[in-house]
Amino acid sequence: MTRSMTIAEKILCAHSGREELSPGQLVECNVDIVLANDVTAPIAIKEFNKLNWGKVFDKDKIVLVGDHYCPNKDIKSAIQAKAMREFAREYSISHYFDVGRAGVEHALLPERGIVGAGDLVIGGDSHTCTYGALGALSTGMGSTDVGMAYATGKAWFKVPSTIKVVLNGELPENVYAKDIMLHLIGMIGVDGALYQALEFYGPVAPELEVEDRMTISNMAIECGAKAGIFPADDKTLAYLDGRFEREPKVYTADEGAEYSRVVEINCSELKPTVSLPHLPSNTRNAEDCKDIKIDQSVIGSCTNGHIEDFRIAARILKGHKVNPNVRCIVIPATQKIFQQCIDEGLTDIFVDAECAVSTPTCGPCLGGYMGVLAPGERAIATTNRNFIGRMGDKASEVILASPATAAASAILGRVGTPDESIRGKHHGD
């Protein structure tokens, strides 16, 4: 009799031709999408070229996105982008996204309908786990694996065990998906789900919008997980309808599926949360950090660069000015989201508040450009990592937060909460 399986196990079965898999097994699978960006693709291309294969496995299943250092910040980044561009042209890659048509990859692929429910996706970027929000199994791999997949369309996987995360209660006002995930990482630690999958259930999970689920799945890697999966539901299918290139395949965990552990979160008790330097697990309630001053606020990234994130930030910033001691940088994740910000008047609010609004890019998240920190400077950011030197000099610091908290902090000049009475307060008092 076939054993009861989790969503991750079922997707790996479907892509390997197996009827049954158990955690710890090694299995070769056919992949639906192979992704890389301007940092990881050039390395993958070199590995692919070493094979002398002569052709890619499927020009419609390879995705190349210029986002980390695009528009190019220097000669080295221009050379990397050129290598990716030439490879895309040589092999007629269907899904190649260059400057002006690109965006931050993990927002762009769902938006364009390239990834969806039931997919098995690998990417040369650790935050490829984002697509678990759509009921996919997606995970980051090294560029060598990506290069091999360009040729074969296959990859090896160790079947992960799965942690069941139950989101109980209901979200209080000004508490968002980012706060949930920061709280979870704080609970279990940066290695609390090492090489495991996360599956999200409970009454709060289906109430979250698809973009909110992307925020949570995106940060699964920050507690060591290989994937962070939400079961595909009506919201998922509505999001995919009219945009997903293929037929969605919905996998659900069997009753009696084996989980390595169950983690329960009472969302009703959550407050706006921040992660202090230098680990995402170093979490605190924002209200307990009001003595921490900031030099910069960044609102964007693959974690929180969606249109609703900017609507939330704009509601906080409207009618206010960014603290004169703070630089606030707003970065929509895709061209479409950028256009939505303009159409909805959000860009006007940001400019009136004296924010800098950027074209889509990963930019400051990895210390690339558009907001690199000097020694001794501190940023609050809606990004996903706050390791030493992540956004600039090794003597700088990054605090992780939701868009609402990052916007409120930009006004106050210090870590602040969205519900603080901030009208007229511009100096952190």
Query: Residue 427 pLDDT > 60, yes or no?
Result: no
DSSP-derived secondary structure letter, 363: G
Average pLDDT over residues 402-417: 96
Does 428 score more than 80 pLDDT? no
What CA–CA distance (Å, rounded) separates 104 from 117?
20
Contact (Cβ atoms closer than 8 angstroms) between residue 311 and residue 346: yes
CA distances from 205 to 29, 199, 300 (A): 29, 10, 23
pLDDT at 2: 78
How far apart CA 7 and CA 64 sit, in angstroms, is 27
Q: How confident is the model at residue 421 (pLDDT cuts 50, 70, 90)?
A: very low
CATH numbers and ranges of domains, the chain: 7-264 (3.30.499.10), 274-412 (3.30.499.10)
Q: What is the mean pLDDT of residues 212-240?
A: 97
What percent of the chain stands above pLDDT 70?
A: 98
Q: Residue 366: its pLDDT value, please? A: 86
Res 367: pLDDT? 86
Q: What is the pLDDT of residues 298-350, one digit of tens each?
A: 999 999 999 999 999 999 999 999 999 999 999 999 999 999 999 999 999 99
Q: Mind listing the pLDDT tens digit for each residue in 342-388? A: 999 999 999 999 999 999 998 888 888 899 999 999 999 999 999 98
Amino acid at 317: L
Q: What string of DSSP letters covers 109-171? A: HHHTT-S-TT-EEEESSGGGGGGGGGT-EEEE--HHHHHHHHHHSEEEEEPPEEEEEEEES-P
